[in-house]
Amino acid sequence: MNVLRFSDLCDEGRARGRRVFIRADLNVPQDEAGNITEDTRIRASVPCIQLALAGGAAVRVTSHLGRPTEGVFRPEASLAPVAKRLSELLGRPVPLKQDWVAGVDIQPGEVVLLENCRLNKGEKKNDPVLARKMAALCDIFVHDAFGTAHRAEASTYGIAQYAKIACAGPLLAAEIDAITKALANPRRPLVAIVAGSKVSTKLTILQALAAKVDQMVVGGGIANTFLLAAGMPIGKSLAEPGLVGQARSVIEAMKARGAEVPIPTDVVVAKTFAADAPATVKAAADVAPDDLILDIGPQTARKLARQLKAAGTIVWNGPVGVFEFDAFAHGTETIARAIAESDAFSIAGGGDTLAAIAKYGIEKDVGYISTGGGAFLEMLEGKTLPALEILAQRASG
Ligand code: ADP
Ligand code: MG
């Protein structure tokens, strides 16, 4: 995907003395008192801001936080805690500006945070009047909020349409590069793990990847639906019988290309869905009518681990079992460790997948961890994200 890159503009000295507007994703989780409980997104946004400051720009940064009602300010919607954390990370003051659409006064070498952009009327609907006003605040618009790239809003789309220059920030560029490296021209074999709770939420991904990957590892509730498609017993396990036909067509599409969907040969079952439910390992063929399959079995996990270690590229979305319960976490842990130990280029994304990566502490051993939940999944589906589409359009026009 051909987009202008902010790092290139900075290298060419084109940000010096310019008004730069960065759309970041600083939408962090907070506790009831407003304390930030997890600051990954703020830390991920720092390199772009530093690049702009080092490049001699006057830097405006904004983000959404939560889902406030447009036009209605409530303290919990404020980016104030984010401004504080950002200022600690940058080692300099980061003033927070309210009512900024009409303009803020700052000098090159300074940075300000513009209050929650979702408080502006017209943000969600990508209102052209609001977008033009925001575009007028800058010489260069930098999109660095991959997590929002699948939505066309005023601060993610309209502003890119109307700004003098619109480009991708380093985080957005890294996301594009990693996903392109994994899917456009991957080192083979390319192995995808598509797991998690439901086929319905991942059906388009399964179908899109079925045309590309050499092995598609299914796990979790998704594997249960595939087991059903293969005529295996699944007892009372989470599955979507209505999607058995779709699962079968994925298996057929893969087979026709000489690729495969390895279906679990053994599983871990329980009689109830609970952290303390006794866990039993069984052959997949022996699942009883009152069993719940809550994880892949050790034999299946070992076989998958071998395949992952031999892979050239790995794409991972979704835990293969109920990893929140330790007794049913072994499959996900084995997969996570195999990915960490593999020489393959690996890319992972998804809310629960990131939680699993953090649980096993393998962050540093994954090639790339996507910061975008929905945006990452849509990229895997092969969709062109609106925010990227407009940046590409601006780069070519
Ligand atoms: P992600 O957020 O990474 O995209 P999903 O939201 O699709 O992943 O799926 C994660 C959830 O799936 C986890 O909460 C996990 O407990 C659940 N899950 C995994 N395997 C099973 C299973 N066999 N039965 C029920 N739920 C499962
Ligand atoms: Mg999830």
Count the Cβ atoms, other than its own, within 10 Å of residue 106.
16
What's the pLDDT score for residue 372? 85
- For residues 251 and 55, what is the distance between their CA atoms, to the nearest angstrom? 51
With tokens 């209605």, the residue in question is 72
| Tokens describing residue 138 | 């800058």
Look up 41 and say whether it is catalytic.
yes
- Closest CA to ligand 1's atom 17: 197
Residue environment code for 195-221, b if the CB has 16+ CB neighbours within 10 A, otherwise e: bbbbbeebbebbebbbebbbbbbbbbb
Look up 351 and say whether it is catalytic.
yes
Q: Which whole-number Å values give the CA distances from 60 to 155, 181, 290, in the listed order?
A: 12, 31, 58
pLDDT, mean over the chain:
96
What's the pLDDT score for residue 373? 84
- Helix 244-256 / helix 203-210 crossing angle, nearest 10 deg: 10
Single out the residue of 73, 85, 79, 153 nearest to residue 115, CA to CA: 79
- For residues 346 and 357, what is the distance between their CA atoms, to the nearest angstrom? 12
Residues with CB under 6 A from ligand 1: 196-197, 201, 220-221, 238, 293-294, 317-319, 321-322, 324, 350-353
Return the ligand number nearest the Cα of 194.
1
* Ligand 1 atom at minimal distance to the Cα of residue 349: 3
Task: Determine how β-strand 215-218 pairs with β-strand 190-194.
Answer: parallel
* Ligand 1 atom at minimal distance to the Cα of residue 325: 16
* Angle at the Cα of 112 from the Cα atoms of 110 and 115, rounded to 5 degrees: 175
Strand partners, 20: 59, 140
- pTM (whole model) above 0.95: no
pLDDT digits (tens, 9 = 90+) for 140-193: 999 999 999 999 999 999 999 999 999 999 999 999 999 999 999 899 999 999
- Closest CA to ligand 1's atom 10: 196
Return the ligand number nearest the Cα of 351.
1
pLDDT digits (tens, 9 = 90+) for 86-121: 999 999 999 999 999 999 999 999 999 999 999 999
**Which stretches of 63-181 are assigned E, i.e. beta strand?**
96-97, 111-114, 140-143, 165-168
pLDDT digits (tens, 9 = 90+) for 345-373: 999 999 899 999 999 999 999 999 998 88
What's the pLDDT score for residue 371? 87
What's the pLDDT score for residue 342? 98
Mean pLDDT of 274-286: 98
DSSP 223-237: HHHHHHHTT---TT-
Ligand 1 centroid to residue 195 C-alpha, Å: 7
Q: Which runs of consecutive H residues, i.e. helices, occur in the chain?
A: 6-11, 40-54, 80-90, 128-135, 159-162, 170-183, 203-210, 220-229, 244-256, 298-309, 330-341, 351-359, 374-380, 386-396
| Displacement of CA 131 from its chain's centroid (Å) | 25
pLDDT digits (tens, 9 = 90+) for 61-87: 999 999 999 999 999 999 999 999 999
Ligand 1 centroid to residue 180 C-alpha, Å: 26
Mean pLDDT of 208-220: 95
Ligand 1 centroid to residue 351 C-alpha, Å: 10
| Tokens describing residue 146 | 């991959």
Q: Please answer whether residues 357 and 366 qualify as being in contact, where contact means their C-beta atoms are separated by less than 8 angstroms.
A: yes
Return the ligand number nearest the Cα of 319.
1
Which of 352, 366, 376 should be mutated for ligand 1, with most atoms under 8 A from CB? 352
pLDDT band at 244 (very low <50, low <70, confident <90, very high): very high
pLDDT score of 397 more than 90: no
With tokens 């400051």, the residue in question is 53
Ligand 2 centroid to residue 121 C-alpha, Å: 30
